[in-house]
Amino acid sequence: MRQALAVLSLCLASPAIAGVDAALEEHVLPEMDRFATATEDLAGVAETDCRAEVLRPAYHDAFDAWLGVSHLRFGPMEEGGRALAIAFWPDNRGMVGRTVARLITDEDPVVQSVRDFAEVSVAGRGLYAMERLLYDPTLAAYGHGDYSCALAVAMARDLARLGRGLARDWQAHARSMETAGDQGNVTYIGPREAAQALYTALVSGLKFTADQRLGLPLGTFDRPRPNLAEARRSGRSLRNVILSLQALEGLATALADRPIPETTAAFARALEVARALEDPVFAGVTDPTGRLEVEILQQRIEALVAPVTNEIGVPLGVSTGFNATDGD
């Protein structure tokens, strides 16, 4: 009897949610490592040859890896403004273009040190600032010895520093998520809080892709905004949607503690439309047919929220924030 009680109390003290461990081990930590490696590679290439055409393949790899983690906007991702320093988008006030232009015009010596460059505005760092340098035709023709060469190296090294920091800090953060609800855990106080954080990331990620990655270029019927498509300069708008869906499906599959047939089918339906779309930067939103195709993709992504709620949120006993979603 005593032994049985001991086992019981152990269970009560640590009602580990299998999906949390799986999501961390199969999704979060490997994807963080992949981003760290890809940004390290980008910095390595930049240090060897900083020219735009040389950097572009490694840049794409780093951006691809970012889509594996871009939805995990909590914990270490939120420390020191990391998420914005890596990905300052949407940029409603045009801050990225202005900040990059100012750095170049001033030939700001801040690029000479990784530590100094980390103090530059988040709008002048990260993947979107680097996109200007590598793809804006007025900026991308720089050569060795130009200021922009040093700027590209500084941006790549800064990304690598951020990637390293994320991979390192997520190791410790994963431990605190695995022990959610334990005495002394000051970050995840209740046993379900870690699952809730991952679930919120999943649902917020779906909404972000539907509302921003697709919603911004769609604009309204009377005023479509193709110039607001994410990473259109590097031709990545649709690619980002596909990669974000794949990453979110990876998180959903790991986090669920039971089969999720409706969710899996809904991801397949969304990805099918996305892969069939022959419009890499959503330029077609300005004509009715092209617009309809992007709207259908948006609807397929919006349609994921219901099965994700029913098959993952409800069984785990979690929902997105009670107050965060109230809006009053």
Partner 1 sequence: MSTRREFMTALAAASALPSLSWADAGSPAFLAAAREPDGTYALFGLDRTGADVLRIPLPDRGHAAAAHPRMPEAVAIARRPGTFAMVIDCATGRLLHRLNAPAGRHLYGHGAFIEEGAVLCTTENDIETGEGRIGLWARDAGYRRIGEIPSGGIGPHEIIALPGDVLAVANGGIRTHPDNGREKQNLDTMHPNLSYVTLAGGVKESVALGPELHKASIRHLAAGDGVVAFAMQWQGPMPDPAPLLGFHRLGGAPVLCAADLTEQIAMDGYAGSVAIAGGRAAITSPRGGRVHIYSLEGDFLATLRRRDVCGIAPDGANFVLTDGMGGIFSTIRTTLRLERRAERAWDNHLVRIGG
User: In this complex, which beta carbon is closest to partner 1, that of residue 231 or of residue 274?
Assistant: 231
* Interface with partner 1 in residues 8-67 (CB under 8 A): none
In angstroms, what is the minimal distance from the CB of 104 to partner 1?
Answer: 20
Q: What spatial distance separates the first Cα and last Cα of the chain, rounded to whole Å?
A: 51
User: In this complex, which beta carbon is closest to partner 1, that of residue 4 or of residue 186?
Assistant: 186
d(CA 114, CA 173): 25
From the centroid of its chain, how far is CA 80?
16
User: In this complex, which beta carbon is closest to partner 1, that of residue 218 or of residue 277?
Assistant: 218
The b/e string for 219-229 (b: 16+ C-beta within 10 A; e otherwise) is beeeebebebb
Under rule CB under 8 A, residue 183 binds partner 1: no
User: In this complex, which beta carbon is closest to partner 1, that of residue 289 or of residue 322?
Assistant: 322
Q: Choose, by CB under 8 A, the member of 2, 4, 5, 92 that binds partner 1.
A: 92
User: In this complex, which beta carbon is closest to partner 1, that of residue 109 or of residue 321?
Assistant: 321
Under rule CB under 8 A, residue 186 binds partner 1: yes
d(CA 316, CA 109): 51
In angstroms, what is the minimal distance from the CB of 262 to partner 1?
Answer: 23
Contact 121, 94 (CB under 8 A): no
d(CA 124, CA 95): 8
Q: Choose, by CB under 8 A, the member of 84, 114, 118, 303 that binds partner 1.
A: 84
67: enclosing H helix or E strand: helix 52-67
Under rule CB under 8 A, residue 1 binds partner 1: no
Q: Choose, by CB under 8 A, the member of 6, 189, 292, 306 that binds partner 1.
A: 189
Q: Choose, by CB under 8 A, the member of 74, 101, 147, 246 that binds partner 1.
A: 74
Under rule CB under 8 A, residue 81 binds partner 1: yes
Under rule CB under 8 A, residue 94 binds partner 1: no
* Interface with partner 1 in residues 104-163 (CB under 8 A): 121-123
* Gyration radius from the chain CA atoms: 21
Under rule CB under 8 A, residue 190 binds partner 1: yes
d(CA 312, CA 2): 36
Q: Which stretch binds partner 1 (CB under 8 A): 35-43, 103-111, 157-165, 320-328?
A: 320-328
For partner 1 (CB under 8 A), the number of binding residues is 27
The b/e string for 169-198 (b: 16+ C-beta within 10 A; e otherwise) is bbeebbeebbbbbeeebeebeebbbbbbbb
Q: Is 94 left (phi over 0), alpha (psi -120 to 50) or beta?
A: left
User: In this complex, which beta carbon is closest to partner 1, that of residue 193 or of residue 293?
Assistant: 193
Q: Which stretch binds partner 1 (CB under 8 A): 126-134, 143-151, 193-201, 270-278?
A: 193-201
In angstroms, what is the minimal distance from the CB of 138 to partner 1?
Answer: 25
Give the HSE-up count for residue 92: Cα atoms under 13 Å, Cβ half-sphere.
Answer: 2
In angstroms, what is the minimal distance from the CB of 212 to partner 1?
Answer: 8
Residues sharing a CB contact under 8 Å with residue 241, sequence separation 6 or more, in sequence order: 209, 213, 214, 274, 297
d(CA 187, CA 55): 39
- Residues near partner 1 (CB under 8 A) are 74, 78, 80-81, 84-85, 90, 92-93, 121-123, 186, 189-190, 192-193, 196-197, 200, 321-324, 326-328
